[in-house]
Structures are given as C-alpha cells and as structure tokens.
C-alpha cells in the first residue's frame, strides 16, 4: 500500500474500532467477537507503528475505551485504571522479557521475576476503603474517570463492606459472572423473551452499570481482586506478597496467581493456565504477565494507555469443524420457536458439543446455513457453543435449505412472525409448551386474581397431571388440592373458594387473562366496555377493532388471530361450561367525570400507588398515558417529578398535586 492507502486504512480501522468499542464498553452489546476486535486493533497498532506520522491521540491505541454512562456520578481515579498491551504469540512474550531484562540492567536491578495471572473476562472496578470500611466503588470508565457504582458493588456478596485491618486502601478487581450462573441467567432471559447476553463479560458489565441497584442485586455478580492501587501507612515491595496480604484481610483474590523466577517459568505458567482454562468456573481470555518487583514497576512507568511492566497474552479461540446434521425447532414457555442445530458430536474446549442454538431465522440467513453443511464452531466467551461460519468449499450439492415452520411443532397452531420482530411464535393458548406460563398469567392478580394459585402450586398440579389445560383449573377438587400441602385442608378450602369467586369476574379480567399479544389490562377494559360479551368480541372484525382509540392495526390483527384459533374456541367453550362469566358487568351509577380526559402520572406519589391512581382515573372514564403531549389534559405530579413535569410546563398543560387529585375524585 502507498501512503495514501495506508492513511485511509488507518482511518477506516479507527472508525471501526471506535464503533465496536462503544458497542462493547458503553452499550454492553458486542457485535463482533473479541478475537475479531483484537485482530483489528493489532492491524491498527502495527500500521501506526510503521507509520508514526499518522498516529493520533484519538486512536484507541492511545487511549482506553469506555465512557461514563449518563445517570452515574463521575469518579476521578487517583491512580489511573489502565488497560493492558495485548500480545498474541509466545515470541512477543519473549520479546517483552528481553526488554525487561535490558531495562533492569540499566537500572541496576539484579533479577527479573514475574507473576502470571488469569485475565478474567469481566468489568474492571476499583474499591476504596477508609479506616477499613468500603466508602466508594467505581468502574474503570476511560481509565481516568469512571462511574460511581458504590451501591451496586455493595450487592456483590464477595465484596467485604469492612476489612480486617483499619487502613486506607484502594484495590482493583474484575467483576464477573461465573460460567454456570451465566448459562442460568441466559436460560431465564430466554424464557422471559428477553435478549440473550452475548457473553459473560457483557452480562456482568450490564448488571453492574444498572441505575437501579435492586436490579444489580438480582444478578449473580462476583469479583476477584488483583491489584493494590494505593495504600496508606504501609509499603509493599512485591506484587505477589501484596496479593497474599489482600487475601488475609478479607478480599476475594484472583485464585490463579503463579510466581515465576524467569521467562521459562512464565511460558510454563501460560501453558498451565491454558490447560486448566476449560475447568475454571469463570471465563478468561488470556494470561497477564506482570513484573513482581514494585520498585522496578515505578522505574518502568507507563504510557498514556498501558503500563510498561505488564502484558496480556491472549489465547486464540478454539475452533472445530463438524457437520450440521439437522435443524429442529423448540418451543419455549412464552411460545417463541427457536431453531436448534443438531451437530455431529465434537469435543470443543473440554466439552462434547452435539447441538447449539441458531437463535432465529435471521441468524440462519446471515450465516447462509444449510442442513448438511460443514461448519466451524467455537465457544463464545468460553461458555456458549456457536456456529462461526460455513465451509462452503466442502459443499456437495446435497445440502438442504431450512425454512421456519408456519405451524407450531408442538401443538399445530399457527406460528407467526410479526413485522419488526425476529422471533416466530406459537399462537395456541392450549400449547403444552406454553401451558405453565399461560397458567401463571391466567391466575395472576391483574387477570383472574385467583389467590393461592401461585407458581409453585401450579408446578405441582402439572407434575401430578391434575391440570392439562387452563380450563382444568375449574375442575380441581378439594381432595386433590389438600394433598399439595401438609395439613392442607384450610389452604385447599381457601383456594377452592378463590377459584369459585373468579367465575364471577368482569369480562375484562378474562380478556386480560387470555394473554393476547399486545393486549394489556387497559385495552381489555376498552374491549369489554365496547363489545359487552365474549361472543361479540370473538366475532369482531379487524376494521372495526382498529377504529377504536388506542387500538392500532398490530393489536387488532393480534385479537382477530387469537380468536380465530381452534384452541381459543375450545378453551372458551370449556370455560363457559365451567360457569365462568363471559359478560361485561355494567356498573351502577356510572360517573364519567373524566370522560375524554388524558392524565400523565410522574414522580413519587404518597397517597396512592401508581396503579391505584390509574384505576381511579379509568373508573371515572379517563385514560392515562406514559408521555406528555399537547393532548394531555392533566399531569399528576408527585415528589421528584422530572422531565415530564418540565415538558408539561413548557406546553402549558395543567399540573395537579395529589391533594388536587383527591378533590377531583371526591
């Protein structure tokens, strides 16, 4: 390449790496593998090294990736949390050793010793203790300025709130999620139809950088401490000894820490960590080689981005070739139909792999997969097996295209993919694969409100084959229920009474209980009010539905599709036979004082819960909205009202307090 081409390539690489780093560090949503990113950075680093006239301080080779997320307080690190220089060959490790020995000779240092540690795949954080008590925790951010995540870090069970010695100390560690917990977390997200985390690192980062610490507390975060950033009243000379001290005073220190007298022992340690990699409970992507002598570290110093006394040897991802024998479809609890690759069994990174998820129809098209293809697989983040690419040169012409089913493979109901979504879903309300989740929703408080029929009891009823569909709830016998709990007669009678009482619920509760996609409690009330009974709603036309306020084409289509299903018709008939009410209950002395009025609620309310206030507004014929516009009539503002209040003021919308609201509903 000539200079013009080199400059253009450098600029292209800078744009790409900046984009990928932003997705990785700031959005916790990577779009390429770590290895692919590392290779781009390596190319950029080499081009800049060979062409120093094109080096820019804006390049990620000169700075740490990551920014402070809006909503967090900024923390300036007294000791920068730097990145590490990556190397990819043993020759580069040997070159590092040569540089260290040369510098040691120049500085009068007699020997060069190392510590080799696992490079944990997580999110770096600092912990500051005053008089032995945790006072602040922060993310790395850009290395100089991070995010104050103290409350979130306090939820991590392995972080001590108080250490044994009453000293002032700042330590650095890596927050992560173990392999087993990561798999469990993704299974739960898949069941809840939430996007899966790409890898354990991003799961940890996304969990730690939550604005609500209650969410963080629910995530299985862990931490390993690997460095003393600053300490008062004592001095260490050896990094290895400092780690021993940290463990003694209560910190959860990186368990893989190997002291090495020379480069040969370093290379042995790198191999040892590679061999144990698959058996570690946590994910790693390399081995960190550090100078042990802390005074020598001071002499060596740092660049703007990285210390000169450490490097990170990155292990290449292990890949294997195998055959895509078949693609089958599984139906999740929420009805999402997921294609699954059936593979010729192959041992990869310590595990026998015979299947892996293909996520959705778009993934199959993007990878151009065909049944019978030879494919390359690897483990994403050392945890999840994934298909990387097809070996097209090995195609024989016998390979077959795959199409997502238009019928549910479990129950035979229509399987549809809505516009703008990647998932294909089963629409059958009696689908056995969806039964547990459908039952939980049907009996929930906002739906049929059957008190006592919780998730655990539903699971027991299913395990004992006492219910096989939703309507079976209404055939449950006292004798069957009483066996579910020790001394369960009182519980059984209460549950029987609650089931019987639910038969008299208003129609809108039954519509809500059906769990029609896109139809919530508010829309259910509107439908019940307009159509009066379930038969009318079942026969409602698309054009009529979409004419209703707040019911657009997507919701109207979903309603028509739901009631056209044979399974829906079968369930409705069973519910009628069981005596469940299918008519709207007309309220006496209807008071529509808020008819045609739109309310927006903002801030913390004291007299009412948010749900209570919304129900009162709807009771008097009004409606609530989540956003303020010119069409908004009132903004009910509580304590700490934010941007919605500001917008209401700018639009001249009437702002009312809770006292005002109380007067309005007297």
Q: What is the mean pLDDT of residues 572-577?
A: 96
> Tens digits of per-residue pLDDT, 629-658?
989 999 999 887 878 888 899 999 999 999
Residue 167 predicted with pLDDT over 70: yes
Instruction: Tell me which residue has tokens 């080779």.
Output: 61
* CB burial readout 347-385, b (16+ within 10 A) else e: ebbeeebeebbbbbbeebeebebbbbbbbebbbbbbbbb
Q: What is the mean pLDDT of residues 465-476?
A: 94
Per-range mean pLDDT, top range of 296-300, 348-352, 608-612 = 296-300
**Sequence-distant (≥ 6) Cβ neighbours of residue 146 within 8 angstroms:** 68, 74, 75, 77, 81, 125, 126, 138, 139, 140
Q: What is the mean pLDDT of residues 408-423?
A: 90
Residue 131 predicted with pLDDT over 60: yes
- Note whether 383 and 377 are within 8 A (CB): no
- Note whether 601 and 614 are within 8 A (CB): yes
Residue 350 predicted with pLDDT over 70: no
pLDDT of residue 136: 95
Q: What percent of the chain has pLDDT over 70?
A: 95
Residue 580 predicted with pLDDT over 90: yes
Cα–Cα distances in angstroms (integers) from residue 165 to residues 233, 247, 248, 249, in the given order: 11, 12, 10, 6
- Note whether 307 and 318 are within 8 A (CB): no
User: Residue ranges per domain, the chain?
Assistant: 3-54, 81-314, 318-426, 427-586, 598-664
Cα–Cα distances in angstroms (integers) from residue 270 to residues 114, 264, 307, 348, in the given order: 12, 10, 20, 20
Q: Which of 123, 122, 25, 142 is nearest to 81 (CA)?
A: 142
pLDDT of residue 528: 93
List Cβ<8 Å contacts ≥24 apart for 191-195. Answer: 191/332, 191/333, 191/334, 191/437, 192/334, 193/332, 193/334, 193/336, 193/423
Burial of 415 (0-12, 13-18, 19+ CB in 10 A): buried
- Note whether 32 and 20 are within 8 A (CB): yes
Per-range mean pLDDT, top range of 232-241, 275-284, 417-426 = 232-241
> Tens digits of per-residue pLDDT, 318-343?
788 999 999 999 998 778 999 999 99
Record the pTM: 0.57
CA distance 553 to 121: 45
- Pairwise pLDDT comparison (353 vs 260), residue with the higher score: 260
Q: What is the mean pLDDT of residues 552-571?
A: 93
pLDDT of residue 391: 95
CA distance 285 to 34: 9
Name 654's bridge partners. 634
- Note whether 289 and 313 are within 8 A (CB): yes
> Tens digits of per-residue pLDDT, 296-307?
999 999 988 899
Fold of 318-426: OB fold (Dihydrolipoamide Acetyltransferase, E2P) (2.40.50)
126's tokens: 């600092």
Q: Which of 225, 299, 269, 247 is nearest to 115 (CA)?
A: 269
3-class DSSP assignment, residue 171: strand
CA distance 50 to 58: 18
Residue 412, φ and ψ in degrees, nearest 5:
85, 0
> Which listed CATH number (3.30.1550.10, 1.10.443.10, 1.20.1270.10, 1.10.150.20) goes with 427-586?
1.10.150.20
**Sequence-distant (≥ 6) Cβ neighbours of residue 199 within 8 angstroms:** 30, 34, 121, 182, 283, 380, 381, 383, 384
Q: Which helix (H) or strand (E) holds 36?
A: helix 34-50
Q: What is the chain's length?
A: 666
- Pairwise pLDDT comparison (50 vs 566), residue with the higher score: 566
What is the band of 422 on the pLDDT scale with cuts at 50, 70, 90? Answer: confident
> How many contiguous H segments (helices) and E segments (strands) does the chain have?
24, 22
Name 313's bridge partners. 87, 287
- What integer best gives the mean pLDDT of the chain? 89
Helix H segments across 373-520?
435-442, 455-463, 478-482, 489-502, 507-514
- Determine the straight-line distance between the first and last CA of the chain, rounded to whole angstroms: 80
Name 171's bridge partners. 127, 228
CA distance 464 to 483: 11
3-class DSSP assignment, residue 205: helix
Angle (nearest 5°) at CA 639 between 637 and 641: 55
List Cβ<8 Å contacts ≥24 apart for 76-80. Answer: 76/144, 76/145, 77/126, 77/138, 77/140, 77/141, 77/143, 77/144, 77/145, 77/146, 77/229, 78/170, 78/229, 78/230, 79/170, 79/229, 79/230, 80/143, 80/144, 80/302
Fold of 3-54: Helix Hairpins (1.10.287)
Whether 119 sits among the annotated catalytic residues: the reply is yes
CA distance 21 to 140: 14
Name 507's bridge partners. none
Residue 32 predicted with pLDDT over 60: yes
CA distance 267 to 255: 19
Axis-axis angle for helices 435-442, 507-514 (nearest 10): 160
Residue 188 predicted with pLDDT over 90: no
CA distance 639 to 601: 11
Residue 244, φ and ψ in degrees, nearest 5:
-60, -40
Residue 364, φ and ψ in degrees, nearest 5:
-65, -40
For the structural domain made of 598-664, what CATH number should be given? 3.40.50.10190
Q: Which helix (H) or strand (E) holds 555?
A: helix 553-564
For domain 81-314, the CATH superfamily is DNA ligase/mRNA capping enzyme (3.30.470.30)
Q: What is the mean pLDDT of residues 123-144?
A: 94
Q: Alpha carbon 396 to chain centroid distance?
A: 40
Residue 115, φ and ψ in degrees, nearest 5:
-125, 130
- Pairwise pLDDT comparison (224 vs 9), residue with the higher score: 224
Residue 294 predicted with pLDDT over 80: yes
Burial of 114 (0-12, 13-18, 19+ CB in 10 A): buried
Burial of 432 (0-12, 13-18, 19+ CB in 10 A): middle
Query: Of 4-8, 180-184, 194-198, 517-521, which gets the smallest average pLDDT?
Result: 194-198
Residue 72, φ and ψ in degrees, nearest 5:
-100, 150
Instruction: Tell me which residue has tokens 């820490």.
Output: 257
Axis-axis angle for helices 3-21, 34-50 (nearest 10): 150
Instruction: Tell me which residue has tokens 């209703």.
Output: 548
**Sequence-distant (≥ 6) Cβ neighbours of residue 589 within 8 angstroms:** none
Out of 3, 74, 105, 119, pick the active-site residue. Answer: 119
> Tens digits of per-residue pLDDT, 365-374?
999 999 999 9
Q: How many alpha carbons lie under 13 Å from residue 525 in its C-beta half-sphere?
A: 15
Q: What is the mean pLDDT of residues 502-525?
A: 93
Residue 37 predicted with pLDDT over 80: no
């Amino acid at each position: 390449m000539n200079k013009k081409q080199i400059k253009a390539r450098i600029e292209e690489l800078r744009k790409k790496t900046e984009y990928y780093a932003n997705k990785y560090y700031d959005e916790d949503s990577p779009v390429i593998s770590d290895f692919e990113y590392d290779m781009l950075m390596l190319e950029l680093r080499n081009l800049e090294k060979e062409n120093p006239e094109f080096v820019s301080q804006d390049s990620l080779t000169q700075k740490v990736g990551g920014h402070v997320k809006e909503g967090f307080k900024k923390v300036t690190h007294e000791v920068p949390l730097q990145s590490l220089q990556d190397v990819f060959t043993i020759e580069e490790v040997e070159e590092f050793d040569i540089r260290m020995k040369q510098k040691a000779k120049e500085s009068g240092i007699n020997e060069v010793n190392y510590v080799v540690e696992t490079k944990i795949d997580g999110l770096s954080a600092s912990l500051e203790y005053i008089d032995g008590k945790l006072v602040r925790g922060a993310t790395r951010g850009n290395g100089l300025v991070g995010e104050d995540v103290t409350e979130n870090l306090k939820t991590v069970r392995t972080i001590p709130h108080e250490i044994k010695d009453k000293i002032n100390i700042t330590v650095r560690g890596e927050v992560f999620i173990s392999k087993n917990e990561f798999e469990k977390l993704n299974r739960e997200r898949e069941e809840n139809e939430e996007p899966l985390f790409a890898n354990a690192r991003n799961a940890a980062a996304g969990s730690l950088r939550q604005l609500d610490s209650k969410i963080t507390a629910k995530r299985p975060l862990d931490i390993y401490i690997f460095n003393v950033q600053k300490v008062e009243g004592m001095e260490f000379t050896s990094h290895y000894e400092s780690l021993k001290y940290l463990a003694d005073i209560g910190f959860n220190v990186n368990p893989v820490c190997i002291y090495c007298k020379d480069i040969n022992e370093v290379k042995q340690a790198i191999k040892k960590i590679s061999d144990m990699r698959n058996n570690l409970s946590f994910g790693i992507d390399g081995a960190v080689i550090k100078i042990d002598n802390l005074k020598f570290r001071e002499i060596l110093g740092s660049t703007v981005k990285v210390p000169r006394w450490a490097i990170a040897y990155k292990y290449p991802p292990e890949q294997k070739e195998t055959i895509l024998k078949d693609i089958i479809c599984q139906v999740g609890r929420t009805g999402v139909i997921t294609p699954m690759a059936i593979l010729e069994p192959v041992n990869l990174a310590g595990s026998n792999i015979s299947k892996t998820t293909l996520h959705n129809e778009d993934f199959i098209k993007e990878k151009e997969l065909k049944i019978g293809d030879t494919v390359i697989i690897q483990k994403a983040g050392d945890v999840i097996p994934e298909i990387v690419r097809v070996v097209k040169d090995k195609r024989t012409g016998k390979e077959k295209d795959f199409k997502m089913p238009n019928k549910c493979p479990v129950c035979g109901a229509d399987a549809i993919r809505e516009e703008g979504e990647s998932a294909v879903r089963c629409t059958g309300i009696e689908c056995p694969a969806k039964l547990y989740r459908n039952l939980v929703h049907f009996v929930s408080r906002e739906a049929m409100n059957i008190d006592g029929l919780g998730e655990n009891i539903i699971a027991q009823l299913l395990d004992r084959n006492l219910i096989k569909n939703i309507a079976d709830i209404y055939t449950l016998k006292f004798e069957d229920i009483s066996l579910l709990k020790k001394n369960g007669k009182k519980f059984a009678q209460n549950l029987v009474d609650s089931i019987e009482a639910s038969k008299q619920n208003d129609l809108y509760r039954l519509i809500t209980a059906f769990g029609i996609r896109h139809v919530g409690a508010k829309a259910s009330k509107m439908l019940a009010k307009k159509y009066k009974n379930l038969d009318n709603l079942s026969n409602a036309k698309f054009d009529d539905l979409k004419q209703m306020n707040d019911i657009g084409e997507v919701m109207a289509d979903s309603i028509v599709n739901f009631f056209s299903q044979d399974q829906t018709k079968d369930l409705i008939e069973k519910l009628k036979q069981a005596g469940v009410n299918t008519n709207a209950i007309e309220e006496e002395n209807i008071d529509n004082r808020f008819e045609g009025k739109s309310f927006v609620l903002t801030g913390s309310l004291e007299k009412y819960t948010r749900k209570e206030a919304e129900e009162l507004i709807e009771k008097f014929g009004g409606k609530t909205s989540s956003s303020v516009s010119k069409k908004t009539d009132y903004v009910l503002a509580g304590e700490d009202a934010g941007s919605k209040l500001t917008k209401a003021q700018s639009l001249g919308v009437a702002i009312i307090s809770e006292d005002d609201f109380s007067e309005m509903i007297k």
